[in-house]
Structure 1
Amino acid sequence: MAITTTPHLNFRGDARAALEFYQSVFGGHLTVVAYGDFGMPKDLPDADKVVFGQVTADNGFSIMAYDVPSQAPVAAPAAATTREHGMTLTGERFFVSVRGETAEEVSALWDKLADGAEIIEKFGPSPWAPGFGMLTDRFGVTWILDVAVAYAG
């Protein structure tokens, strides 16, 4: 079993620039996917914003980032994360991202971490991964658990 833990930073429109900067500093491979790439109508304000971004380098550096949808609260308490129109809206500055190779291994971690947690998105298949879920644990930390997949780009 191999899992990784990666900081997941949340931006308000400048995730792409931040990821490009981190790549210039640490090297590695940059992946950027926009909301419009996942089906958001191209004429909506956030369609060109980053829904999934990551820099991974051979030296072990890894960071993920996305642009919080514009409908999200600007300043919110730790538990103020909601779903609206199929998007996760949050005022959080970061998530902790845990990735595994199979849905079975990630699901087992999810079951343990979910004890006493507020479930934001129940762990299960998603359009981008065989398994994805989001929760805020009993200590107020927001976690994303998912199954790693290769992205073209």
Structure 2
Amino acid sequence: MTANVNPYLNFRGSAREALTFYGSVFGGEPRISSFKDFGMPVGEGEEDLVMHGQVDLDGEPLLMGSDVPSHMGYTAGENTFSVSLSGDDEGTLTGWWTALSAGADVQQPLEKAPWGDSFGMLKDRFGVSWLVNISGGAAS
């Protein structure tokens, strides 16, 4: 069972370029999925933006990132990162989600996502953004 903590970087239209750059810096190959790959609704012309990308190092995620579509708020330098909690240890990750949810602004409840995992997003009571992804989609 695993549970990982990784920085999650947000961009406005430059995630693909940034992840490719970071991959070259750290010696990892970026894995990139677009909003179109998962049929996620975004603004016109934004289908090919990065919905999720990550750079792995030695088979483990090093950092992750995505483009923020135009329907979501974004100010460069302010909301440009989140902390990602991921893995297949459902009990640990669900426990972390529950604890972080106390007094939080839950933007996406932890529930089954189109890619088959369970996923949730929240901003904790201190203003830190968290993403939780549980492989296999067993959480609720």
One-letter code of the match for 2:68? V
Once the two structures are superposed, residues 66-107 of structure 1 have per-residue CA deviations (whole angstroms, 9 ceiling, x without a partner) of 00002223439xxxxxxxxxxxxxx72111101121333321
TM-superposed deviation, 1:19: 0.5
Contact 2:8-2:83 at 8 Å conserved across structures: yes
| Residue 107 (structure 2) aligned to one of 103, 113, 120 | 120
Q: For residue 146 of structure 1, what is the aligned residue in structure 2?
A: 133
Once the two structures are superposed, residues 33-53 of structure 1 have per-residue CA deviations (whole angstroms, 9 ceiling, x without a partner) of 001111147993110100000
Q: CA RMSD in A?
A: 2.4
Q: For residue 87 of structure 1, what is the aligned residue in structure 2?
A: none
One-letter code of the match for 1:112? A
One-letter code of the match for 1:104? G
1:39 counterpart = 2:39: yes
Contact 2:108-2:122 at 8 Å conserved across structures: yes
One-letter code of the match for 1:48? D
Evaluate the alpha carbon distance shift between residue 48 and residue 62 of structure 1 in structure 2; reply closer, same or farther with a 3 A threshold: same
Q: For residue 84 of structure 1, what is the aligned residue in structure 2?
A: none
CA distance in 2 between counterparts of 1:2 and 1:102 reads 5
- Which ranges of structure 1 fall in alignment gaps of 5 or more residues? 77-90
TM-superposed deviation, 1:125: 1.1
Matched residues, percent identical? 41
Q: For residue 98 of structure 2, what is the aligned residue in structure 1?
A: 111
- Where do residues 59-74 of structure 1 align in structure 2 (5 Å cutoff)? 62-74=62-74
Q: TM-score normalized by structure 2?
A: 0.85
Evaluate the alpha carbon distance shift between residue 74 and residue 100 of structure 1 in structure 2; reply closer, same or farther with a 3 A threshold: closer
Moved over 2 A (4+): 40-44, 71-76, 102-105
TM-superposed deviation, 1:136: 0.6
Evaluate the alpha carbon distance shift between residue 128 and residue 60 of structure 1 in structure 2; reply closer, same or farther with a 3 A threshold: closer
- Which ranges of structure 2 fall in alignment gaps of 5 or more residues? none
TM-superposed deviation, 1:130: 2.4
